[in-house]
Structure 1
Amino acid sequence: MPFPLQGQPGLIVDRPGPEDFQPPLWGGPGRLVRLVRGLQWAVHPCTVFASILQLETPLRECGSFMSRIHPTAILDSRVELAEDVEIGPYCVLEGAIRIGRGTKLRAHCFMQGPMVIGEDNDIWPFSALGVAPQTSHFDPSEEGPGTLIGDRNVFREHSSVHRSIHETDPTKIGDDNLFMDGAHAGHDCQLANHIVLAKGSMLGGHAILEDRVIIGGNAGVHQFVRVGRGVMIGGNAGSSLDVLPWFMVTLLNTANSINLVGLRRSGASAEDIAIVRLVFKLFCRSGLTIAAATERLREHAGQPMADEYLEFLGKSTRAICTMRGRKTMAGNDSFQAADST
């Protein structure tokens, strides 16, 4: 059988040893003498020869298309790669996976389909994308709708994204997001764009993060929680309540201020910033109930920022994170347990 042509996926299911090849003479082609489970190794002949002789031959000197798939990588026959995708050493791609132009898997990456990955993503060693949810009732052999990842995302070492358990809607990651070392997004999470998950941060299943959210190191977001645009959750903090746009969460379920720096960086107008200040005052300092504060906010309907808050409140299915939070290791005794108001 011939070696795969340009544009074809590498059909790799097991790593053969030197005994599986007939070594070529210098300048001659290598010849595959054994098929592995009926599939063929997508390895350029000179790469095979170099690996047998333990030569340090740069991959890019070993051909065109094959130079972009390391010989130790394992790819399912259903994998579809764009022309300039790079697959590094010991990567494993299992199931129906489609990867767009410019995406790079550096090494030791594990992926399970169904999955669609966009363009120019950078995936670092030991990332696990599209793997089965961590739920006791889910059969890991079930594929479901899988995972959808956009463009220009960075997944650093040990980051993980779990695929959906729904029948129709995949786990979704938007564009221009950064998953730092050990960041985790659980099954059915919906992430928008320009989000930063710092080292060790965790998103429970079904969490929804809007644009420009920042989750600090070792911070957590409870399952089914909605986090509004521009929210910043500080390190070691977290929320099991919905967080209004542009709020800052510095303790567990405690919003202590607004993300003024983020607002200014986003180009928010003075009128928008004034609305954010008003919302924080109404929901966190006025002593009003959530319902009463919402009615006061309706007086400003028609202003874009006020309408954004009203839309968020209309979609919210949980309590709202205010200043009545729960004490953490870094907290103080003045913060009481969160209530459902």
Structure 2
Amino acid sequence: MDALEQARREIDTVDAQLAALFERRMKAVLSVAEYKKARGLPIFDAAREKVVLDKAEARIGDPALRPYYRDHVQNMMDVAKQYEAEVLGRNRAAYQGVEGAFAHIALRALFPHAEAVSCPTWDEVFDAVEKGDAAHGVVPFENSHAGDVSAVLDLCYNHPGLWVVDVYDLPISQNLLVLPGTQLSDLTRVYSHQQAIAQSETFLKQFGLPATAMPNTAMAAKFVAESGDRTKAAIASVETAALYGLEVLVPSINTDGDNTTRFIVLSREKPTAGNRFSLLFTLDNKPGKLAEVIQVIGASGYDMESIKSRPLPHVPFDYYFYVELVGDPAAEKTAALLRELNHVCRTVRLLGVYTK
């Protein structure tokens, strides 16, 4: 037996032992889930998770392997949380659109074992999470080519009971989808979400194709498939083409080859652990107020990765602001920053805590 075969046999032996230990661990997880269910406790406990991860890392003798083992235990804990959610009847995640939409693809990557709950609008995704009909909501937040999804940021502002607990960057490839046998010369109109249309603007202008906006890309593909009309095309993902029996006539028509959409994950449970946090704040309309906020953030030692402004609902020519900061939200200096911002801002609110 050569060294490679011997090493593979050793891995198989260890894997068999790990499988038995995994079942044993998940039985203990089931007991934890039942305990939480009986007492109405949340699934996620950030303080407990950190203790478990630190303890696990310390068990490894080889320092080079410690971060890898920590990641391994983190993955096991993420699987355990999904299992707990299923046991507790909380394993539902909401998204806007129909199966095959980019939000659905992102949801499946984030929550592979969850029941996907389709909502007609982003507003209804927020409502589903707020009412407890879904444990999480997955919605687009910004695109590397088309920019912010301003309506979603407004919904974040208008739903103070919800938190952003995770982010997920999904590479986007927009494709021209048609009924089988359709030629480019047959087309007279294209259908898709407004963001996808904006991302494919150069291609559409090149071929003189007018576009009609629809609630999302998958709905556009479904509409084209059901129409039976070869003059119509949709802009959507390859996965959507397979779902609705369409063909990819022209792949990757988006202008930006590095097109990526960032999705955020909504929850009613307040997060505590992460390496990023985001804030929403309002200011008195006085000279230098925004500069004062930026100065306070800079003096606290935080890197401000993003700042955005949006009109305040029902208050003409007044605005609220969103910032994303790099740092530990649980650190004492974060609490000190929030206290100082409370003196500078009219209102300030922690919106999200996550890792990226």
**TM-score, length of structure 1 as denominator length:** 0.23
Q: Higher relative CO (CA 8 A, sep ≥ 6), structure 1 or 2?
A: 2
What TM-score do the two structures reach when normalised by structure 2? 0.23
